[in-house]
Amino acid sequence: MAPSALKERLVGCGGQVPAPSAFSIGHRGAALLFPEHTKESYVAAARMGAGLIECDVTFTKDKELVCRHSQCDLHTTTNILVTPLASKCTTPFAPAADGAPATAKCCTSDVTLAEFRTLTGKMDGADAAATSAEAYLAGTAPFRTDLYAASGATGTLLTHAESIDLIRSLGAKFTPELKAPAVAMPFDGLTQAAYAQQLIDEYKAAGVPAEDVWAQSFRLDDVLYWVRAEPRFANQAVYLDGRYDVDAFNHTAPSTYAPTMRQLYEGGVRIVAPPLWMLLAPDGDGAMAPSVYARAARAAGLNLITWTLERSGSPPAGWYFQTVADLVRTDGDVLVALDVLARQVKVLGVFSDWPATVTYYANCVGLA
């Protein structure tokens, strides 16, 4: 890290005992080193001081809510392909052959909750060149590790209700994401609205107050449903802004695309969460600064959360820092970006695959 007042301050905090911070959000738990959305990953995130921990929520064949990043990721995040349940997958495993990659697609909606409970979590990844299911499952990204997902230390899968009990016992709060279904809705009578309501109902059943929950969705209609049906929970509902995938959307001119920031606020949205790069831009002096998107959101009265730190490997690269790629070349530069997000963009929190970094920073600058 280049010499700076920020570096001096961060080095000076080396002797601190960090406290948990709501600014530090465990993205899928602590997914850099632990199988995502497992008991082990959530415990690790809490030990690193994540004040909020995420359960991505989807449903099984019998319409029970479980924690998975995607409805159809069991083939890359669990051992399903080497179990008897492999035959129930939407697309059973097919080995790489004649230049074509290995394929598989296994969904939570392919199995019942009882069957889901027989699976174990692994580090997300797959080897597209594999000629066996075992080799396919071994495709962990090189910047992650299988150290905590090896035999005898596999990941314990959780239902959404179980995640609520666990996260509460760890002293953290909740940021569940309602995942977009990969199956046609209604699914066996389950409508999208009923699905969104089921997520909230499980917090109510557990006696969790609305102010401890930051429910999220990439589907604006889900957030607006909560605004109408669950206004207390909607106060902290998070619209995950995925409009970077829309060709007509320009994050450097967000007021030219509907819904605008003002329209989002007037519709009841209070928190917007885009990826890191949409909130950062180089200024005229070659430093990082808030983007046009960030300034427009704050001007409209919206609060901001962002994602995801520690997801690009080391040194940082690629998608998450694309607007400031020339300014984020080292791990130290990531801390500078984090400081800009906290002090200038004024985000409420930062998702991280290794929450210890954000927790350390938050404690050091008084955000714990």
Give the pair of three-digit tokens for residue 256. 């030219």
pLDDT digits (tens, 9 = 90+) for 253-266: 999 999 999 999 99
pLDDT in tens, 72-90: 999 999 999 999 999 999 9
**pLDDT tens across 280-296, in order?**
999 989 999 999 999 99
Phi, psi of 28 (to 5 degrees): 60, 20
Please write the tens of the pLDDT for every residue from 97-106.
999 999 999 9
Q: Which of 48, 6, 10, 24 lies closest to 306, judged by CA? A: 24
The domain ranges of the chain are: 5-55+158-364, 73-151
What is the 8-class DSSP label of residue 341? I
**pLDDT-derived band at 11, boundaries 50, 70, 90:** very high
Using 50, 70 and 90 to split pLDDT, how confident is the model at 108? very high
Query: Average pLDDT of 33-47?
Result: 97
Considering the chain, what is the average pLDDT of its residues? 96
Tell how strand 303-309 and strand 349-352 pair up. parallel
Backbone torsion region of residue 29, taken as left when φ is above 0, otherwise alpha when ψ lies between -120 and 50, otherwise beta: left
Q: What is the DSSP letter of 181?
A: P
Q: Which tens digit of pLDDT belongs to each residue from 128-180? A: 999 999 999 999 988 888 888 765 568 999 999 999 999 999 999 999 999 99
**Cβ pair 294, 279 in contact under 8 A:** yes
pLDDT tens for 226-255 read: 999 999 999 999 999 999 999 999 999 999
Confidence at residue 146, expressed as pLDDT on a 0 to 100 scale: 85
Q: What is the mean predicted confidence (pLDDT) over 326-344?
A: 96
pLDDT at 331 over 60: yes
Q: In Å, what is the CA distance from 277 to each residue of 193, 256, 334?
A: 31, 19, 12
Can you give the pLDDT at residue 154? 80
CA distance 130 to 121: 20
CATH number for the domain whose boundaries are 5-55+158-364: 3.20.20.190
Can you give the pLDDT at residue 75?
Answer: 98
- Dihedrals φ, ψ of 75, to 5°? -75, -15
DSSP sequence for 211-226: GGB--EES-HHHHHHH
pLDDT given for residue 113 in this prediction: 98
- Tell me whether residue 63 is exposed, middle or buried, using C-beta atoms within 10 angstroms of its C-beta: 0 to 12, 13 to 18, 19 or more: middle
- Closest by alpha carbon to 53, among 33, 31, 29? 29
Q: Where are the alpha helices (DSSP H) in the chain?
A: 5-12, 39-47, 74-77, 113-116, 133-137, 160-169, 192-205, 220-229, 231-234, 261-266, 276-279, 292-299, 331-340, 356-364
**Per-residue pLDDT tens digits for 340-368:** 999 999 999 999 999 999 999 999 999 98
Identify the band that residue 314 occupies on the pLDDT scale cut at 50, 70 and 90.
confident
b (16+ CB within 10 A) / e for 245-266 = eeeeeebeebeeeeeebeebbe
